[in-house]
Amino acid sequence: MAANRYDAIVIGGGHNGLIAAAYLARAGRKVVVLERRERVGGAAVTEEIFPGFKFSMFSYVVSLLRPEIIRDLRLPEHGLQILPLESTLTPMENGDYFAAWADHDQTRRELLRHSALDAEAYDEYGRLMYHMAHAVKPILGMVPPDPASLRPRDLKGMLAVGNHFRSLGAEQFHAMFKLMTMSSADFLDEWFETDVLKATKSASGIIGTFLGPRSPGTAYVLLHHYMGELDGVFRAWGFQKGGTGGISEAIAASARSLGVAIRCGQTVQKVREKDGRVRGVVLENGDEIDANIVLTSLDPRRSFLELVDRKALPDEFVADISRFKFRGSSGKVNLALGALPDFTCMPGFGPHLRGAMSISPSMDYVERAYDDAKYGEFSKRPYMDIVIPSLIDPGMAPPGKHVMSVFVQYAPYNLNGGWTDAKREAFGDAVIGAIERFAPNIRSCIEHRQVLTPLDIERITGLSEGNIFQGELALHQLFFLRPAPGWARFRTPIRNYYQCGSGTHPGGGIMGASGRLGAMAVLEDHA
């Protein structure tokens, strides 16, 4: 049946799947995207959970959406509108605070209040991280070469990476080595003395991982924050108007304008394969769709251990994918507010409420939050990243009311005794209790609340173990090891079955690079 035959099928209508489809259609291919849910977006969706209150239900800020994708897919014309999130306020246990403002000099003055030394070091640290990010950035846009391979293409790639690193100069090379190996706590200790500053900075190194700020390897993730800054004016860091679902909608609109068919409510049950080549997919309702190319934007576990006949895959590959770590560690609490929270450290309304509020008062606080998780409990006093999107985009809530997004870490997927409704509510209560210590009026502001555990995230979005990055962003799962040694180049052991989700290099966040690079791999093989 001609209507069910395409050049390529993309499984999953999250941002990466949509981006891959759009790039393929742009190259003239007839493409269909199959999405299990009734709406596109995956974890980048806006939903009106309570009447009048709209939430970026899961992913709540956009950080690294690649500028070339914004341009190639003409996303601003299709509705991309990113509003800056300008500041970060960290309330401290002693009633003081640390604030980082949009204006660099203002932040420097604020730091001066805490430590004259740190105020000096801040500039220097910023410069170094900028250089580091600049050094690492080209790698993000590149298909990762495999250092263990002797194929000319990989050798050439490694040579390019090697030359690139050699060009850094000794100081930067050493810093890079430290970033790759140290814990964020140790790395920051080399630079700063203000605990609250280090705690807030290190928190960005643990998001989406099952690691604490004192775990080795977390320093590298600090860099990610500076990557966004390189794009400077592209300002891909902030809040999408209408919520993150607006980004997915913009990509979907672009894809449709390029001719992509997007079918929602269609669950793929199996990828059809014959003689080592992909043939199409079978849907849950029994329908078959034919295509000689299939891309999966799902995570590696679903893509290989669920959708594909195991016999079609080499044993060592299956073993590698089985070992790929998910370990969802974060939850989300979405609050509908009748009034604004009043922070003891900075009372009343002010610009601080329009930025992020980081509940990371000290390094010990964040590490203790991890301690709970390490032994299978949710953090009694969790690290939280809070934003109030309705102050940036008033359309998110009824006039005068607000929505508050609370990203919470840690909430382990494998909770002792498993997640139950009662434990979900207890987790929600712990979150509110932890906020209340810094904003005592929070309880009276809340009109509705939604609590999402990693199990809920998995159930709704399909992300295995509720890991927001489709697999931990830990060093041993990055670059040429993502998702498995030898298979980081978007191909798979099954011919014409491709990966394009965050479970591949470079992975994570609303970046879109995986979707684009996956499509590029297809176009390279099928020119």
Contact status: 76 vs other proteins (CB under 8 A): yes
Of the pair 147, 395, the CB lying nearest other proteins is at 395
Nearest-CA neighbor of 79 among 216, 253, 220? 253
Contact status: 186 vs other proteins (CB under 8 A): no
Q: What angle separates helix 116-140 from helix 170-181, to the nearest 10 degrees?
A: 90
Q: Which amino acid is at 136?
A: V
CB 399 to other proteins: min, Å: 4
Residues in a beta bridge with 219: none
Q: Which of 4, 48, 102, 263 is in the footprint of other proteins by CB under 8 A?
A: 102
Contact status: 441 vs other proteins (CB under 8 A): no
CB 338 to other proteins: min, Å: 12
Pairing between β-strand 288-296 and β-strand 5-11 as defined by DSSP bridges: parallel
- The contact pattern for other proteins, residues 379-418, with x = CB under 8 A and - = no contact, is ------------xxxxx---xx------------------
The interface region with other proteins, picked from 74-82, 245-253, 325-333, 360-368 by CB under 8 A, is 74-82
Contact status: 433 vs other proteins (CB under 8 A): no
- The contact pattern for other proteins, residues 333-352, with x = CB under 8 A and - = no contact, is ------------------x-
DSSP classification of residue 437: T
**Sign of torsion, CA 370 371 376 379?**
negative
Q: What angle separates helix 152-166 from helix 170-181, to the nearest 10 degrees?
A: 120
Of the pair 354, 505, the CB lying nearest other proteins is at 354
Q: What is the DSSP string of 9-78?
A: EEE--BHHHHHHHHHHHHTT--EEEEESSSSSBTTS-EEEEETTEEEE-S---B----HHHHHHTTGGGG
206-245 residues in contact with other proteins (CB under 8 A) are: 230-235, 241
The interface region with other proteins, picked from 11-19, 78-86, 145-153, 264-272 by CB under 8 A, is 78-86
234-293 residues in contact with other proteins (CB under 8 A) are: 234-235, 241
Q: Which of 4, 71, 325, 525 is in the footprint of other proteins by CB under 8 A?
A: 71
DSSP classification of residue 183: B
Of the pair 397, 411, the CB lying nearest other proteins is at 397
CA distance 46 to 241: 10
Nearest-CA neighbor of 83 among 462, 387, 446? 387
Question: Distance of CA 315 to CAs 31, 136, 275, 310, 311, Å?
Answer: 31, 33, 17, 8, 8
Contact status: 75 vs other proteins (CB under 8 A): yes
Contact status: 142 vs other proteins (CB under 8 A): no
Q: Site residues (CB under 8 A) for other proteins?
A: 67, 70-71, 75-77, 80-84, 86, 101-103, 106, 134, 137, 230-235, 241, 351, 354, 391-395, 399-400
